[in-house]
Amino acid sequence: MSVQSGPRNQIKKPARQQCRRAFGVLTTMSAGVPRSRSRDRQKKPVKNAQICRFAAVIPSPGMFRAEPCCYSLPFPQETPAIVGPAGARPPFRNDIDSVSGPPMQRFNLGTTDLAVSSAVLGLMRIADLSDAAIRQLFSKAQDVGINVFDHADIYGGEAHECERRFGAALRLTASERGSIVIQSKCGIRPGFFDFSEDHILQAVDRSLAALKTDYLDLLLLHRPDTLVEPEEVARAFDRLHAAGKVRHFGVSNHTPRQIDLLKTAVDQPLVANQIQLSIAHAPSVAFGLAANMAGLEQSIDRDGEVIAYSRINRMTLQAWSPFQQGFFGGVFVGDEKNFPELNRVLIELSSKYGLSPSAIAYAWIARHPAKIQVVLGTTSAERLGDIAPGADITLSREDWYHLFRAAGHVLP
Ligand SMILES: NC(=O)c1ccc[n+]([C@@H]2O[C@H](COP(=O)([O-])OP(=O)(O)OC[C@H]3O[C@@H](n4cnc5c(N)ncnc54)[C@H](OP(=O)(O)O)[C@@H]3O)[C@@H](O)[C@H]2O)c1
């Protein structure tokens, strides 16, 4: 139950190196094998041309300013997508709805009957793991009660690379596939966002091929495309659903008004929204606690009150980067230089609740009555086991607010 080992090591890494790891791009310095846990990982060719520049991107204002970034990685050319005839009956399995799993709490995804775990395993960082390490991580996830696995077409340096690694390493049987929830995202392309019908259909076909599965349980539109035509999204979603390729739909990083715009044409229920949220990056929570406080930075609404909207509309929120400060700025757990008070309180509560500081940081998100899923990005089975118990404790109100203030947020 110590914070020392992982977090400190992690935050000492320069942001650029973290960013490379995040997207599975190896550095020339690593000579094809990352320094950490290299024994678990496969040798892969160095991809000099694919250096991620996210480290140079300032989250706000203008998160995606005109810097080259990971989104400029090569994607395949579009070709017409192949989908089944409209009206075909989706061949979805229902095993997941009745699975009695390990103790981690589960609840329904949005308005669906899909029983999902509090934690989601995010697969954004698995590109350079060996098959054995991916299997170990997957198996540990199942042991601790996780049944949801999060992908995106852009994860892994090359399009669909993390999906491909996952599919190749696991080669799930039909019954294994039926007992888990696989979600993926599309809509981010090199240098632009694309919610066109053709691109959505194409991206899903490629995700299914890479994952070696017939269907996604959940498809999320990754980042809002301001050129979106809701009617095109509606057609794509209807075709994917009718063909049995996607079971449920949602969004990621969307504001309430952007969701309402989609809903002007999209009939498929939008059941989830994945947003960045951690105790150290909590504008979505902090704003509502300081509304209308003139002159207070925290009182600026940055997302149109997405948490209240999600509760009102029964959309499940999923918190990405639950341990990162800023935009892939390093892990705050154990970062006593930048978060001394937060770490002091995390340690204090870790001994009170008998869990690791990381599990307490998890519990801070999970305690919210919005029933927010937490998307864990660790590639370490051991760390996963350390964090997961955070799903099953309920922090007292006093402790929750204590952590909130310790992270630097204000209670007026
Ligand atoms: N929708 C979106 O726009 C979006 C954006 C980004 C990510 N995501 C999703 O969210 C998932 C999680 O994002 P993330 O990977 O940035 O989240 P994270 O869980 O906050 O960060 C995981 C990273 O932190 C490291 N770490 C070091 N100390 C840690 C500690 N004490 N506790 C936890 N992690 C520690 C992990 O290293 P080890 O691997 O060595 O444990 C790993 O590199 C992704 O996999 C992806 O599925 C979605």
What pLDDT digit, counting tens, does each position of 266-281 carry? 999 999 999 999 999 9
Banded model confidence at residue 40, pLDDT cuts 50, 70, 90: very low
8 Å CB contact between 370 and 307: yes
Q: Which residues, other chains included, contact 325 with Cβ-Cβ below 8 Å and sequence gap of 6+?
A: 278, 280, 281, 331, 332, 335, 338, 339
Residue 274 near ligand 1, beta carbon < 6 Å: yes
- Residue 55 has a pLDDT of 26
| Across 79-93, 304-318, 362-376, least confident range | 79-93
Return the number of other C-beta atoms located less than 10 Å from residue 130's C-beta: 18
8 Å CB contact between 302 and 283: yes
- Residue 96 has a pLDDT of 52
Ligand 1 atom 29: residue of nearest CA? 7
CA of 330 relative to ligand 1 center, distance in Å: 9
Residue 383 near ligand 1, beta carbon < 6 Å: yes
d(CA 283, CA 255) in angstroms, rounded, equals 13
- Residue 3 has a pLDDT of 30
Indicate the pairing of strand 192-193 with strand 188-189.
Answer: antiparallel
The active-site residue, picked from 71, 155, 215, 309, is 155
Token output for 301: 């609404």
Residue 79 amino acid letter:
T
What is the per-residue DSSP string for 180-210? SEEEEEE-EETTEE---HHHHHHHHHHHHHH
CA of 96 relative to ligand 1 center, distance in Å: 25
Indicate the pairing of strand 148-150 with strand 181-186.
Answer: parallel
Residue 20 near ligand 1, beta carbon < 6 Å: no
Instruction: Tell me the pLDDT tens digit for each residue of 251-260.
Output: 999 999 999 9
Is the confidence at residue 370, as pLDDT, over 60? yes
8 Å CB contact between 307 and 315: no
Residue 137 near ligand 1, beta carbon < 6 Å: no
The greatest distance separating any two alpha carbons of the chain, rounded to the nearest whole angstrom, comes to: 58
CA of 150 relative to ligand 1 center, distance in Å: 12
Q: Which has more confidence, 292 or 15?
A: 292
Domain ranges (residues) in the chain:
5-78+97-406
Whole-number Cα distances in Å, 143 to 106, 287, 332:
14, 37, 26
8 Å CB contact between 135 and 168: no
Ligand 1 atom 7: residue of nearest CA? 320
Helix (H, G, I), strand (E, B) or coil at 139: helix
Is the confidence at residue 99, as pLDDT, over 80? no
Query: What pairs with residue 185 in β-bridges?
Result: 220
Which of 303, 320, 364, when mutated, tests ligand 1's pocket best, judged by the most ligand atoms within 8 Å of its CB?
320
Which of 383, 384, 387, when mutated, tests ligand 1's pocket best, judged by the most ligand atoms within 8 Å of its CB?
383
Residue 254 near ligand 1, beta carbon < 6 Å: no
Residue 358 near ligand 1, beta carbon < 6 Å: yes
The answer to whether 155 is a known catalytic residue is yes
Residue 6 near ligand 1, beta carbon < 6 Å: yes
**Ligand 1, atom nearest to 322 Cα:** 20
Which of 70, 321, 324, 358, when mutated, tests ligand 1's pocket best, judged by the most ligand atoms within 8 Å of its CB?
321
Q: Identify the residue whose tokens are 């395949």.
A: 76
Indicate the pairing of strand 188-189 with strand 106-108.
Answer: unpaired
Helix (H, G, I), strand (E, B) or coil at 271: strand
- Residue 134 has a pLDDT of 98
- Residue 42 has a pLDDT of 36
Determine the average pLDDT of the residues in 280-284.
Answer: 96
Burial class from Cβ neighbours inside 10 Å (0-12, 13-18, 19+) for residue 398 reads exposed
Banded model confidence at residue 117, pLDDT cuts 50, 70, 90: very high
- Residue 16 has a pLDDT of 33
Residue 145 near ligand 1, beta carbon < 6 Å: no
| Across 84-93, 126-135, 206-215, 246-255, least confident range | 84-93
Residue 362 amino acid letter:
Y
What is the per-residue DSSP string for 33-80? S-STTGGGS------GGG---GGG--SSS-TT-SS--GGGS--PPP--
Helix (H, G, I), strand (E, B) or coil at 287: helix
Helix (H, G, I), strand (E, B) or coil at 276: strand
The domain 5-78+97-406 having CATH identifier 3.20.20.100: the answer here is: yes
d(CA 1, CA 147) in angstroms, rounded, equals 25
What is the per-residue DSSP string for 91-127? ----HHHH---SSS-EEE-TTSS-EEESEEEE-TT-T
Residue 10 near ligand 1, beta carbon < 6 Å: yes
d(CA 24, CA 48) in angstroms, rounded, equals 12
Ligand 1 atom 37: residue of nearest CA? 378
Which of 336, 358, 378, when mutated, tests ligand 1's pocket best, judged by the most ligand atoms within 8 Å of its CB?
378
The dihedrals phi and psi of 300, each to the nearest 5 degrees, come to -80, 125
Instruction: Tell me the pLDDT tens digit for each residue of 142-186.
Output: 999 999 999 999 999 899 999 999 999 999 999 999 999 999 999
Determine the average pLDDT of the residues in 353-365.
Answer: 98
Determine the average pLDDT of the residues in 386-400.
Answer: 97
Buried b / exposed e over 324-350, threshold 16 CB at 10 Å, is bbbbbbbbbbbbbeebeebbebbbbbb
Banded model confidence at residue 71, pLDDT cuts 50, 70, 90: very low
Name the percent of the chain lying above pLDDT 90.
73
Residue 275 near ligand 1, beta carbon < 6 Å: no
